[in-house]
Amino acid sequence: MINSYPIWKYVIVFLVLIIGCIYMLPNLYQENYAISIVKNDLSNCNIYSISKSNILNILKKEKIISKSIFFHDDKIQICFFSELDQKRAYGVLFSIFSENFSVSCLKIPDMPNWLYLIGAKPIQLGLDLKGGLYLIIRVDIQTMLNKLQDYYFNNFKSILNENNIFYLRLNKINDYDLKIVFENADIRNKSILYLSKIYPELIFYTKEECIVCISFSKEYIHTMCEYAIQQNSNILRHRINQLQITEPLIHRYGSDCIVIELPGIQDSSKIKTIFNNAASLEFRLVNTKINEFQINNNFIPEDSEIKLDSNGNIIALYKKVILTGDHIIGANLNFDEYHRPRVNILLDNLGSLIISKFTQDNIGKVMATLFVEYKDTGEKDKQGYSILYRYDKVINIATIQSKLSHNFCIIGINNVKEARYLSSLLSMGSLIAPIYIEEERVIGPTLGKKNIAQGITACVLGILISIFFMITWYRFFGLIAGVALIVNLILMVSLMSLIPGVILTMPSIAGVILTLAVSIDSNVLINERIKEEIKQGKPMQYSIYVGYRKAFTSIIDANITTIIVSIILYIISTGPIQGFAMVTIIGVGTSMFTSIIGTRAFVNLIYGKRYIKKLSI
């Protein structure tokens, strides 16, 4: 028969419908006020060392009633009946467990455990629907360029000295440029040829007879700025994930800003702490040639500078940086055989090559580890940007006794607390450029609830009006189209719940409504094709077959065009517009399935394999 599906096709349609309904279920449950307890990365304690009875006893002493306590994905989640109980319990549990565990407030759906076991979860809501914390983070590009200027300044000095190229002066000048004064034009020209081969990204130009100026090209500055923004975004995302904060939305804003949206987060103090810690390390050689007399009389060579250690002792370091914290990809705290704290450092491939070659060539020399941190002074410059100050201190001095590799440790740290703090900062990742919070807004959930209610109302009204129109115009086939519309919504919701990174915002709700409105067009095309065949006197079974077959090409062409446009929109846009594009792609895919395969299966099941005199269409 021409209108008949094999059994396996009916089974696939049925399974898709059942799975869609199951994974849509979490969105129907109310949210519970809850507290999450998760093991810190630096803690040696196991999450299962906290028993359920222990938590119950702690809460019972404070006369706090919990709704449920369960372990899930190596964390403890405690649910409460009210927000007041949640806040009271948070204060108690944080004071007890915060040293070894991360304690945070959150809302979780009140759904049965079997849904958790199969990975079902509700749709992630955006900031405009759930409320939360909105931050604009400015990346201090100027400080990054100043660091680059220092890097090239020290490198030029070393290269010129190592190659016995005599120069009179090497100075830093405005706009991150450098100026080298030579004795004559011949030496200057030879130096330009030599240095330009090593640093093709720089622009060398002559000024007066014996002077060469070096500046960054616009392309190089742009590349470094883009790199700093991208790397800082990745590091901030990593830091947020370490705090067990879910659903963060991080995207570029303007030329030097990053927008961070944290739905459901109302307390910004913990978040601001990880953003304000722009810490890193610098490994430098100690200048052992400088004596106490030179230091006391400020007779410091141009290639060196004075730093202090944790005890206030004066140490002379060479300005040239051997290795920075940019190459650190991991750090953890442990203890030596005498139970003294030390921090293990793990380097990336490039950092490993640099430190290996340097230590191999400088065995017997003294190397220092300089801890560097940028902090906000609370003051603004002329352009209105926050002024940061650099805080640094020597945390370790050691003689290079052998070649180091990608993994080594820092010893000599005063106490466990300081070592844990250093390890925590380094494990968060070293920022390419300092950052500071330029704008901070806490968005309440009241507006979000109103937006959700309006969005749901619009969806329901749109579906009801569409179904009413289809039934009025196409009768039973219109009813089939209405059922397909409801199934389409179920599949959209389940896919949005399953796919990582899909966040429901107001633009996403607009995408849902638009997709549902457009999806009915496919059934209109099919039904009109069937009616045309019937009007031409064709048999009913043949009219159904030809109606679906002729409409198929038009439906596919229109939907593929929509998907291509949505993909382009997703690639070139950011934030909520990406959410709109993603929801549109999901909706178009589900609508093609329901309108072409789903309705056809339903029609074949009812009308297939039998003689039909009349269709209700």
What's the confidence (pLDDT) of residue 324? 81
- Find, among 230, 322, 342, 332, the residue nearest to 281 by Cα: 322
Distance CA 43, CA 274 (A): 18
Top pLDDT among 106 and 520 is at 520
What's the confidence (pLDDT) of residue 1? 60
What's the confidence (pLDDT) of residue 246? 60
pLDDT band at 43 (very low <50, low <70, confident <90, very high): low
Q: Give residue-wise pLDDT tens across range 371-397.
A: 887 776 667 666 666 666 777 888 878
Average confidence (pLDDT) over 573-585:
81
One DSSP character per residue, 1-23 reads: --S---HHHHHHHHHHHHHHHHH
Q: Give residue-wise pLDDT tens across range 168-220.
A: 888 888 778 889 888 888 888 888 888 888 888 888 888 777 888 888 888 88
Indicate whether 273 pLDDT > 70: no
Average confidence (pLDDT) over 439-457:
73
One DSSP character per residue, 425-456 reads: HHHT---SS-EEEEEEEEEPHHHHHHHHHHHH
Residue 251 host element (H or E): strand 249-253
* Range 547-553, long-range pairs (CB < 8 A, 24+ positions): 548/596, 548/600, 551/522, 551/525, 551/526, 552/596
Indicate whether 478 pLDDT > 80: yes
Query: Cβ distance 352 to 406 under 8 Å?
Result: yes
Indicate whether 41 pLDDT > 60: no
Provide the token pair at 36: 């999450």
Residue 205 host element (H or E): strand 202-207
What's the confidence (pLDDT) of residue 23? 92
Provide the token pair at 330: 């991991």
Indicate whether 267 pLDDT > 70: no
Provide the token pair at 515: 């997709």
Query: Cβ distance 368 to 315 under 8 Å?
Result: yes
Q: Give residue-wise pLDDT tens across range 312-330.
A: 888 889 888 888 877 777 7
pLDDT band at 277 (very low <50, low <70, confident <90, very high): low
Top pLDDT among 597 and 271 is at 597
Query: Cβ distance 130 to 445 under 8 Å?
Result: yes
What's the confidence (pLDDT) of residue 429? 63
pTM higher than the cut 0.75 = no
What's the confidence (pLDDT) of residue 20? 92
| Alpha helix stretches (DSSP H) within 348-444 | 349-361, 416-427
- Find, among 446, 464, 580, the residue nearest to 515 by Cα: 580
What sign results for the dihedral spanned by CA atoms 307, 313, 316, 322?
negative
Residues 6+ apart with CB under 8 A from 195: 156, 159, 202, 204, 214
Average confidence (pLDDT) over 252-275:
75
Q: Left, alpha or beta for 312 (phi > 0: left; psi -120 to 50: alpha)?
A: left
State the average pLDDT for the chain.
Answer: 82
Residue 393 host element (H or E): strand 386-399
Amino acid letter at 546? Answer: V
Query: CA angle 468-471-477, nearest 5°?
Result: 145
Q: Which percentage of the chain shows pLDDT scores above 90?
A: 5
Q: Give residue-wise pLDDT tens across range 214-237.
A: 888 888 888 888 888 888 888 788
Average confidence (pLDDT) over 510-529:
84
pLDDT band at 15 (very low <50, low <70, confident <90, very high): very high
Provide the token pair at 289: 């040639």
Top pLDDT among 273 and 22 is at 22
The DSSP bridge partners found for residue 296 are none
| Alpha helix stretches (DSSP H) within 499-539 | 506-535
What's the confidence (pLDDT) of residue 21? 92
What's the confidence (pLDDT) of residue 616? 79
Query: Cβ distance 100 to 43 under 8 Å?
Result: yes
Domains of the chain: 7-25+445-607 (1.20.1640.10), 30-110 (3.30.70.260), 141-220 (3.30.1240), 222-440 (3.30.1360.200)
Q: Give residue-wise pLDDT tens across range 119-138.
A: 888 888 877 777 778 888 88
Average confidence (pLDDT) over 255-282:
73
Exposure string over 117-127, b if 16+ CB within 10 A, otherwise e: eeebbbbbbbb
pLDDT band at 494 (very low <50, low <70, confident <90, very high): very high
